[in-house]
Amino acid sequence: MESEKLEQVWRAVCDQVKSYNNIDPSQINAFFSRLQPQAMSEDFLMLTADNDFIKTWIERHYVDFIKQALMDLYRTAFTVLIEVDIAAEAARANPAAPAPATGASTAGAPAAPATSAGAATGTPASDGGHAAAGEPAVVQPAVQQTATEQAPRAAHAAAAYEARGCEELEGDPYDEDETDGPDRPTSTLTFENFVIGDSNRMAYSMAVAVAEMPGKAHLNPLFIYGKSGLGKTHLLRAIQNYVHETMPNLSTIYVDSAELLSDYMEASAAHDKEKSSYKNFKTRYEEADVLLIDDVQYLQGKKQTLDIVFQIFNKLTGQGRQVVLSADRAPKNIDIDERYKSRFNSGGTFDIQPPEIETKLGIVKSFVDEYRATEGKASFAIPDDIQMYIAESSSSNIRELKSAVTKVIYQMTFFNQPDLSLDDVRSLLENHFSGGPSKRLTIADIQKEVETFYKVSHADLVGKKRTRNIIYARQIAIYLSRQMLDLPFNDIGKKFNRDHSTVMYSVTNVEEKMKESRELREELETLKQLIREI
């Protein structure tokens, strides 16, 4: 089949897959753009992926949808084969290639990725970054495109940067101001010290892809969301750091939404948009090559600021310059105009889930390692049982986790208690955690929050009514009671006037729905946070 015809067929397949229920079109754009059709016959399609991670991910999650799309389009059962592009693999393996290096030897570059187990032990995955024990390696996208395929300004800057032997360009119009400010990188937040686990692997991979090649259409904007304390800011700062280190002649600006709002209010104080203060405000952001805006959910209800952000957003993406956004919820769940939601969701949208125990333990170990390095105390150690207790007891908020480690470190060093026992740590952190064993929740607490969230009465929640909204709220409350309190089904049933089998069915039903519905998973995380804050 001719290459042009093959590309047309592949585009039709992609569009067909995006039309299916429970498919996120932005993720299809992100992943399928990393596939190239190579050959096709009556019942066979061969694709190549640019690395092993993409190959494995597509095979696990999307190959059945590709087969279904081919069946729907051609009424024929297809065999779909995906192979890794050998040339792309060789380009990544060749350190002399002109692509930016992705090893720990490059300043600010991502370290060799680890699996969850690797993250927990602080040991990088072996074999050139491939994950161990059958797990897919974290994508470290190689730069394969030519300069003309990249975003215009990023391509120009990268080519000039390489031509000068990676020296600083003199008089480059896009150089950053050397004074301190929000567009300066935060050196401590890099890809190297981001602990990777199953809960954040995809968001991390896409952040790396954007950092290495800012401005690519399928990831512009990049939207990362997840509740507070899961690492969104870390990834945004890591992108800023990486671009600053590898392409210093590109202007990178990181700004929190609260700061952006404050800047706008100050610039607009005179209520005269011709004033230089307003022009300077808008020009600063419009001249960024990479603009990173954190916590955009705080712009809800700020119509004028949103309008300005939208103008800046459209101008930058229209010129092929990169925009990265973060929020504590998906774009569709932010209370803003539909046109903003649509544009925010038009590139790649990826969530960070609460970390599993292995990832939290990896973060604890990483924080202890950082303390040893910065304080020059090579022999300092926190016993393994104490590290595990902190990981198991903490909520999903990484800030809470790190502050618990800090408390233990200070107790062992400043208060001279190097032989701190697990019982001592339990007493020390008794009131520290917002969730976990130290939080004394009750079924009544959970019922109250669920009733408020779904606007149902307590009498209806525990009564006999079976309207759809009441059954839904009741099953959610039962599921949360089981998960957060780990009580027997029978004990939970007594509080809802239900028997053992009804409670078991409710829990199983919610668990099954969670597999298919990201919206439900977000609802449950929001409810858990509300309950923990009681």
Is 232 annotated as belonging to a binding site? yes
Neighbours of 27 (CB within 10 A): 17
Q: Which long-range contacts (CB under 8 A, 24 or more apart) does 441-446 make?
A: 441/484, 441/485, 441/531, 441/534, 442/485, 443/481, 443/485, 443/487, 443/492, 443/495, 444/495, 445/531, 445/534, 446/477, 446/480, 446/481, 446/484, 446/485, 446/531
Residue-by-residue DSSP string for 254-308: EEEHHHHHHHHHHHTTTS-TTSHHHHHHHHHHHT-SEEEEE-GGGGTT-HHHHHH
The gap from C-alpha 333 to its chain's centroid, in whole angstroms, comes to 16
Is 108 annotated as belonging to a binding site? no
β-bridge mates for residue 496, sequence order = none
Is 231 annotated as belonging to a binding site? yes
Is 229 annotated as belonging to a binding site? yes
Contact 267, 281 (CB under 8 A): yes
Contact 327, 293 (CB under 8 A): no
Contact 30, 219 (CB under 8 A): yes
Task: Please give the Cα distance from 195 to 203 (Å, whole number).
Answer: 12
Written in H, E and C, the secondary structure of 26-65 is HHHHHHHCCEEEEEECCCEEEEEECCHHHHHHHHHHCHHH
Binding residues: 229, 231-233
Binding residues for ATP: 229, 231-233
